[in-house]
Structure 1
Amino acid sequence: MPHALPLVAASAIGAHLTVEQDQGAVIQRSVLPGGVRVLTEHIPGMRSATLGAWIGVGSRDETPEHAGSTHFLEHLLFKGTARRSALDIAEAFDRVGGESNALTGKEYTCYYARTIDTDLPLAIDVILDMVTSARLDEADFDMERGVILEELAMAEDDPGDVAHERFTEAVLAGHPLGRPIGGTPDIIRSVSRDAVEEHYRQHYGPQTLIVTAAGNVHHETVCAMVADALTAGGWDLTGETAPVARRDALAPVDAGLTPQVRITRDLEQAHVMLGTRGFRATDERRSTLSVFNAILGGGMSSRLFQEIREKRGLTYAVYSFGAPNAETGIWGMYAACNPRVADEVEGLLAVELERMAQGVTAEELEKAKGQIAGTTVLRLEDSYSRMSRLGKSELVFGELWSIAEALDQVRSVTADAVVGLAAELASRDRSSVRVGPAVA
């Protein structure tokens, strides 16, 4: 049986690990001089390749003077380098039918590209040129400020997005994890180019960089191309510096919890959220949480869907979710409904959570496990998902389970474990968030 890749066991320069995975896939990990980590997964029979350049810095890491810089950099790195204009970067991937993009999280930033396997050298060259040699021109900065403000305005026009943002702020009140990833309009208007450049120079370097590639890729070749691209970008890879350590999963969480938030909007629906503090990403109960969410609000046969939508017709969208971070997380339930029944819907959300603490059936348990197994396997059928799994495992977990091991973890979850987790969540203080019209 394939085994987990113990990423935490190798952090020294030159360290190398190789582990066979499911269906003949092979994952390898090396630490290059300077502390750059490279992880690859060779997947037999796949003709695509996805490359990711991960920086273990997210919105939570911003100092007050650098607020908004992480998301700003996600935009600015596509605006050009010493060797390429913004158009050059865009055309590089358009010419080969590839795609490139980036994402900013609360704890990391990732720049990635997906191409056919023969164009992986192009992807490595362009993406790492962006990471090492971003121009950060004043004119580009001023123009992109307007683009980001439009992006924030678009999110503000989506009441579901607003509800989720306010819910996160409420559950992690006063904590950096509670801040919006993209910043606020006031922050984006006030942050200076010098502050964003300082954030870039401070956090983008060999020690913080993780390069992951999945698909028809060959580890030694990828390592050599990565080293060449980083050296061409001016990074010093001659040192014996180890990679930065992973975040402390046991760090204390200094955050409050706001019991109630009401945002008045002239809308047809009320967007209702109810939830509490969740669990850290490395919590040993993460497989139990997956099963719990599948039973409670993970599909059309879940308790929330059946009780609130199918039996009562009170909502179209209803679900539960968990969002983990290094030392804590959030957990919640969401429903959109007629404002006149918002109180009733919120009450039903609470009732179904409390009912979970009273027991689950064997049929529910097996159905949830089957659902998770299917979605897990299907989600990993493309090179992007495999690339992303490598990056998140390196950043967060310190090990990478094979798919078979991950499914075994889910299959081992018991009804008692699900009920115990439900009881713990049900006993915690909750936040209630609504976005919608005021009802007399």
Structure 2
Amino acid sequence: MTFRSSTTTARTSSEVRAVARTQTLLQGQNGIGTVRRTTLPGGLRVVTESLPSVRSATFGIWVQVGSRDETPTLNGATHYLEHLLFKGTAKRSALDISSAIDAVGGEMNAFTAKEYTCYYARVLDTDLPLAIDVVCDMLTGSLIEAEDVDAERGVILEEIAMTEDDPGDCVHDLFSKTMFGDTPLGRPVLGTVDTVNALDRARIARFYKKHYDPTHLVVAAAGNVDHDTVVRQVSRAFEKAGALSRTDAVPVAPREGRRDLRTAGRVDLLDRKTEQAHVVLGMPGLSRTDERRWALGVLSTALGGGMSSRLFQEVREKRGLAYSVYSYTSGFADCGLFGVYAGCRPSQVHDVLKICRDGLDQIASEGLSDEEIGRAVGQLSGSTVLGLEDTGALMNRIGKSELCWGTQMSVDDMLARIAAVTPDDVRAVARDVLGQRPSLSVIGPLKDKQADRLDEAVS
């Protein structure tokens, strides 16, 4: 399947550039860190961040479609499609796609999330034209052959089995189900064995045609890149597929979500013969546009974001009850999650849950100390900068920002927002979020009496 227009022929590159709209979103010093956006005919957005001091570049295409856009019978279609786009186009076979990037020492991969999908390649700066051509060809010219659908089904079923064999990973899928129930946000990104087995070529091809329109795409490149050159190369690749013929098309707005999905006080136990019990205790969090998310990030860091965090000290260092214990936040378009994870011996699960629940309640009512908040601000600031020290991370930042917020924020602005968080801000968000009644997900071999007591953690 390719993007084709039966009524309009592809325009020349000069014609495309004549109507393209380019903006400088962030102005760096001496060109370093400058972020520019060009909107091409057809509604395709191209954003770049220049970092001339490096010798690499990462190129990616973000798609505003994720498992949240699936009906119950299509659960897993977005991830299935992600696999199939690597299986071949009219121009390249699956081997041609992988060998082209391997031959220059590059990396290529993709990932599917609840609300978006991303395909990317990281290469030397001199090989960026190749990466652009290969990734754009995959996105616009995938054949989605029936035999590839059948062959890849087995691979995806193995991926589902691999996830289910890792209870520390699987428990987070269970927690989403606990919190959101049988809704798109509550269903697994990979789908289930039944839904994957039921998907066929025709249904996946329709899903591709519906969601992989240029108006739903953001092209992002970061590293030693020249914006105008990237725009020309992307334009050429999409023009060949007939994807830029709609002159009236405009990019879709950032996702707003459908409704605020919330639940509380639920307990889900998945009985597995594992060596550890894996638990997630949590509650509704904040959406990714909520201004309080900066304070919530500081709160999560202080609570369970490192070796000096309160939960790590209480659960692991003082009592030796768990090897891994941490807190985390997930923000969606209209809602979010806040969770605390721990893996421990089944006999210790109630002790761990009591410490975690008591800790959440105490912070909700009393807040954190100024010292804890100050340390968390510093830790979050440092990890934010260190996490953006490669071109892949930069591409992810500008691509996701364009797709999910429609704006760009510089690293300095991000650090300023974190530094501006006050102890009162953290205490207020702690009352709002941690003061809610939690829900609980558990995977492990709990005995009947242990299982019967799980309600204590959410009462």
TM-score class, shorter: over 0.9
8 A contact 1:172–1:257 mirrored in 2: no
Secondary structure of the residue aligned to 2:188 is coil
Partner Cα distance (2:433, 2:267) in 1:
17
- The residue number in structure 1 matching 2:46 is 38
TM-score by length of 2: 0.91
Partner Cα distance (1:296, 1:120) in 2:
42
- In the TM superposition, 1:138-177 aligns within 5 A as 138-177=146-185
Secondary structure of the residue aligned to 1:57 is coil
Among 300, 305, 326, the residue aligned to 1:298 = 305
Secondary structure of the residue aligned to 2:98 is helix
Distance 1:329 1:213, change over 3 A: same
8 A contact 1:54–1:111 mirrored in 2: yes
Among 96, 118, 128, the residue aligned to 1:110 = 118
Confirm whether residue 384 of structure 1 aligns to residue 392 of structure 2: yes
Among 11, 14, 24, the residue aligned to 2:20 = 14
Tell me which amino acid in the other structure corresponds to 1:149. Answer: L
In the TM superposition, residue 238 of structure 1 has moved relative to its aligned partner by 4.7
Secondary structure of the residue aligned to 1:178 is coil
Distance 1:22 1:377, change over 3 A: farther
Partner Cα distance (1:205, 1:431) in 2:
38
8 A contact 2:40–2:244 mirrored in 1: no
- In the TM superposition, 1:317-332 aligns within 5 A as 317-332=324-339
Partner Cα distance (1:215, 1:70) in 2:
29
Partner Cα distance (2:314, 2:72) in 1:
45
Partner Cα distance (1:174, 1:67) in 2:
11
- The residue number in structure 2 matching 1:219 is 227
In the TM superposition, residue 159 of structure 1 has moved relative to its aligned partner by 0.7
- The residue number in structure 2 matching 1:10 is none
Gaps of 5+ in 2: 1-18, 450-459
Partner Cα distance (1:98, 1:281) in 2:
32
Confirm whether residue 347 of structure 1 aligns to residue 354 of structure 2: yes
Partner Cα distance (1:246, 1:171) in 2:
24
- The residue number in structure 2 matching 1:273 is 280
- In the TM superposition, 1:94-109 aligns within 5 A as 94-109=102-117
Partner Cα distance (1:109, 1:17) in 2:
25
- The residue number in structure 2 matching 1:135 is 143
Secondary structure of the residue aligned to 2:58 is strand
- The residue number in structure 1 matching 2:98 is 90
* C-alpha RMSD of matched pairs (Å): 1.4
Secondary structure of the residue aligned to 1:177 is coil
8 A contact 1:22–1:402 mirrored in 2: no
- The residue number in structure 2 matching 1:412 is 420
Partner Cα distance (1:173, 1:255) in 2:
9
- The residue number in structure 2 matching 1:371 is 379
Among 307, 311, 319, the residue aligned to 1:312 = 319
1:239-260 alpha-carbon deviations (Å, 9 max, x no partner): 22111121125x4224544610
8 A contact 1:61–1:176 mirrored in 2: yes
- The residue number in structure 2 matching 1:183 is 191
Among 54, 74, 80, the residue aligned to 2:82 = 74
8 A contact 2:265–2:437 mirrored in 1: no
1:83-141 alpha-carbon deviations (Å, 9 max, x no partner): 10000001001100001000001111111000000100000000000000101111111
Partner Cα distance (1:349, 1:397) in 2:
33
Secondary structure of the residue aligned to 2:85 is helix
Secondary structure of the residue aligned to 2:86 is helix
8 A contact 2:261–2:335 mirrored in 1: no
Tell me which amino acid in the other structure corresponds to 1:259. Answer: R
Distance 1:374 1:329, change over 3 A: same
Which of 264-273 and 294-303 deviates more?
264-273
Among 213, 225, 238, the residue aligned to 1:230 = 238
8 A contact 1:173–1:255 mirrored in 2: no
Partner Cα distance (2:152, 2:122) in 1:
24
Secondary structure of the residue aligned to 2:290 is coil
In the TM superposition, residue 63 of structure 1 has moved relative to its aligned partner by 2.8
